[in-house]
Structure 1
Amino acid sequence: MNFPKRQNFQAIEKPLVIVGSKNPIKIACTDTAFSEAFSQGFIVDGINSASQVSEQPIGDEETYLGAKNRVFNSRNAFPEADYWVGIEGGIEEDAHGMYAFAWIYIENKFGLSGKSKTGTFYLPDAIKKLIHSGMELGAADDQLFAQENSKQQGGSVGILTHGAVSRQNYYNQAIILALIPFLNKELY
């Protein structure tokens, strides 16, 4: 039997994306968002990367800085990656109450960056009181809803929507929006 000659195939490596967190939800949503945005596969992994902001960031500026710092610190720790992703959740208050959101910040190995913010949702007064007492949102959720480590599962958004919006889905869209400059390099 004659077999065709074996061709030399060059291994095609998938681009490496490093998330500045070991949180499995943040890693999974980054993987999904990158695959959806670019219609290709990626190797996505997380590392513990310091946000260098408060445990519970308050306001846009501190939360955005936390996401950006996670990218900066991830890049320093793992410079051989193709992309670095920072996801930082924060809270803010206005005349209507306390609300939650997250900032996404992404850089690639060429220095191009993208950013986006999730939608916001208002928190119950009981959570607001716990946060005012010094708790971080995830700990407040765990206490109020008798959960354990909820921020590595459905998070506030999953708990409060009864699973209709998972934390992964919540972040997924914002990550894709932060990828707009990478999808349109000629414009950025």
Structure 2
Amino acid sequence: MKVIVASLNPAKIAAARQALGLLFPERVIDLSGLAVPSGVAAQPMSDEETLRGARNRALAARECRPEADLWIGMEGGVAQLLGQTLTFAWLQVLGPGLDNAARSASLTLPPFVASAVSQGEELGQAMDRLFNLTNCKQQGGAIGVLTRNLLDRRSVYRDTLILALAPLISPAPYAQPAS
């Protein structure tokens, strides 16, 4: 199975490799990353913008590498909900007969981090600056920092990718017409 992850971020590539290894242990997975534009702001600031970025990445990867079997777009975002600032991701998967997306669990950001992001700083840069880190977003991300690595970006993206691939894992229910 030839898979393109629409990113060169090692955390995103590792998440895809882990998810596909769990789902298809008997298959050889030829997985590679590809840098493509998201078509949205560097720090998406809404649920819709984040989903659009993930979808744009998957579509761009498919355009660049049409010979693949599966294209995966991943986009981390931030949104306001009931006075809280949340971070989360959308993952979009495309493949023959497959066009599906899933949203990750969300994490409430501490007020001082939320303030930096609301002033225009990307979450990864804010985390690096505020926690004295280097390239946090290509490692455990804000999730890892704020959960003391009980969860990290890779594990959350891995689980979200499994959810996005549900129509591939269990195709029969998804083929049923709506009643």
Q: What is the TM-score normalised by the length of structure 2?
A: 0.93
- 1:117 and 2:103 are equivalent in the alignment: yes
Match 1:61 to one of 28, 48, 51: 48
Query: 1:162 & 1:112 partners in 2: Cα distance?
Result: 36
Matched pairs, number: 173
Q: CA RMSD in A?
A: 1.0
Correspondences of 1:36-185 after superposition (within 5 Å)? 36-40=22-26, 41-108=28-95, 110-185=96-171
Q: How far apart are the structure 2 equivalents of 1:24 and 1:94?
A: 30
2: CA distance between counterparts of 1:111 and 1:52?
A: 24
Q: Which 4+ residue blocks in structure 1 deviate beyond 4 angstroms?
A: none
- Residues in 2 aligned to 1:73 and 1:57: alpha-carbon distance in whole angstroms: 18
Question: In 2, distance between residues paired with 1:36 and 1:113?
Answer: 21
Larger radius of gyration: 1
Runs of 5+ consecutive residues of structure 1 not aligned to the other structure: 1-14
Amino acid at match of 2:76: G
**1:38 is matched by which residue type in structure 2?**
F
Length-normalised TM-score, structure 1: 0.89
The aligned residue for residue 177 of structure 2 is: none
1:17 aligns with 2:3: yes
Q: Give 1:58 shift.
A: 1.4
Q: What is the percentage of aligned positions where both structures have the same residue? A: 38
**Aligned with 1:175: secondary structure?**
helix
Partners of 1:154 and 1:91 lie apart in 2 by 17
Q: Which amino acid aligns with 1:63?
A: T
Shift of 1:71: 0.5
1:55 CA drift (Å) = 0.6
Equivalent position amino acid for 2:93 in 1: I
* Runs of 5+ unmatched residues, structure 2: 175-179
